[in-house]
């Protein structure tokens, strides 16, 4: 497959609004992607495990993290010229792959960022949504420009939506429902790719109780004077109860070109195991206390 590049206009759109959609970009691979996605869940007994917020309530959302790393075919997405081209254009040719979660969404979400930091090393997610989704059936919604930390608009949105992460029926600062917040609804057909800055406010509302999606997480390379920040970021996701950010299959099948995007993460992932062990201990104690 030929090298894939973004236009200057596409890069400008992403930087301005915090997201971009590539309609039908993966039409040639989507049937196999869906097949292997289902295989991962079948191997996990359709459960997966969840982040700390919903550890005891899998009716809201089930998550496997890392996800693509569980399946040799899905690992090859990191070799696809389209993924490499998009990641290189937005995060630099020496970008890092930082894993990514797979989800079965069961209920409405709440407006949020996947982190909101002004000094963040640039981080994006490449989202594969595996069901047809519209305004009424759970399509991703984003607030364009809300990723621009320090901008008054973005700060006002962050302040208003950060007040309550418990899926409020009304946001008191504006006295409107989550459904009525002005936003861009990104309708989806399987085969589309949706890319967004992790700072951007987004949500999924409505839809079925088994909405399928997974993401590939990408960052710019961390300079040497900020690797401790990288270590702490990777350790934080030990709450997903696994010891490593990148799965064994992703590394085992890696070409030198793929390893270029894995090595900085592999070299700085040593704190995560400690956090994962502590989370497993607390979970075991909670389960024992519930008996």
Q: Report the sign of the C-alpha dihedral through residues 201, 206, 207, 211, in that order.
A: positive
Q: Mean per-residue pLDDT for 243-271? A: 95
Euclidean distance between CA atoms 27 and 199, whole angstroms: 28
Q: Mean per-residue pLDDT for 212-229? A: 96
Both tokens of 143, joined, read 């607030």
In which band, very low, low, confident or very high, does the pLDDT at 97 lie, cut at 50, 70 and 90? very high
pLDDT at 57: 41
Question: What's the mean pLDDT when you consider all of the chain?
Answer: 90
Contact 214, 75 (CB under 8 A): no
Name the β-bridge partners of 140.
Answer: 186, 204
The least confident of 194-203, 241-250, 282-291 is: 282-291
Contact 272, 245 (CB under 8 A): yes
pLDDT digits (tens, 9 = 90+) for 10-62: 999 999 999 999 999 999 999 999 999 999 999 976 544 443 333 334 456 78
Q: What angle do CA 234, 198, 105 make, to 5 degrees?
A: 90
Distance (Å) of CA 274 to CA 30, 135, 208, 230, 280 = 37, 42, 37, 15, 10
Number of residues assigned to the chain? 291
Domains recognised in the chain with CATH numbers: 8-224 (2.60.120.620)
φ and ψ at residue 272, rounded to 5 degrees: -65, -40
Q: Give 3-state DSSP helix, strand, coil % of the chain, rounded to 5.
A: 40, 20, 40
Distance (Å) of CA 78 to CA 14, 81, 194, 197, 262 = 20, 8, 16, 18, 10
Q: How far apart are the first and last CA of the chain?
A: 55
Q: Edge to edge, what strands does the sheet with 184-186 contain?
A: 184-186, 137-142, 202-206
Both tokens of 210, joined, read 């088994």
pLDDT at 164: 59
The least confident of 123-127, 152-156, 248-252, 282-286 is: 282-286
Q: Mean per-residue pLDDT for 279-290? A: 86
Kind plus residue range of the DSSP H or E element containing 219 = strand 211-219
Euclidean distance between CA atoms 287 and 31, whole angstroms: 39
The pLDDT of residue 165 is above 60: no
Whether the bond into 66 is cis, omega within 30 of 0: yes
In a 3-state reduction of DSSP, which class is residue 69?
A: helix
Phi-psi region of 12 (alpha: psi -120 to 50; beta: other; left: phi over 0): alpha
């Amino acid at each position: 497959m030929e090298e894939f590049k973004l236009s200057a206009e596409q890069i400008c759109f992403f930087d301005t609004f915090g997201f971009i959609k590539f309609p039908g970009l993966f039409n040639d691979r989507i049937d196999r992607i869906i097949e292997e996605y289902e295989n991962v869940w079948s191997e996990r007994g359709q459960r997966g495990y969840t982040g700390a917020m919903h550890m005891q309530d899998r009716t809201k959302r089930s998550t496997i993290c890392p996800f693509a790393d569980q399946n040799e075919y899905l690992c090859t997405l990191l070799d696809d010229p389209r993924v490499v081209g998009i990641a290189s254009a937005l995060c630099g040719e020496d970008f890092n792959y930082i894993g990514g979660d797979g989800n079965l969404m069961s209920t409405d979400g709440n407006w949020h960022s996947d982190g909101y930091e002004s000094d963040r090393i640039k981080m994006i997610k490449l989202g594969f949504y595996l069901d047809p989704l519209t305004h009424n059936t759970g399509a991703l919604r984003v607030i364009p420009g809300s990723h621009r930390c320090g901008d008054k608009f973005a700060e006002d949105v962050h302040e208003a939506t950060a007040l309550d992460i418990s899926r409020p029926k009304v946001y008191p600062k504006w006295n409107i429902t989550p459904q009525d917040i002005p936003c861009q609804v990104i309708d989806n057909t399987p085969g589309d790719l949706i890319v967004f800055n992790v700072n951007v406010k987004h949500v999924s509302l409505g839809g079925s109780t088994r909405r399928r999606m997974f993401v590939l997480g990408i960052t710019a390379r961390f300079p040497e004077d900020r690797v401790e920040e990288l270590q702490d970021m990777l350790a934080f996701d030990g709450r997903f109860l696994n010891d490593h950010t990148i799965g064994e299959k992703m590394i085992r099948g890696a070409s030198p070109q793929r390893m270029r995007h894995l090595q900085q993460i592999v070299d700085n992932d040593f704190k995560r195991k400690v956090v994962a062990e502590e989370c497993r201990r607390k979970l075991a104690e909670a389960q024992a206390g519930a008996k």
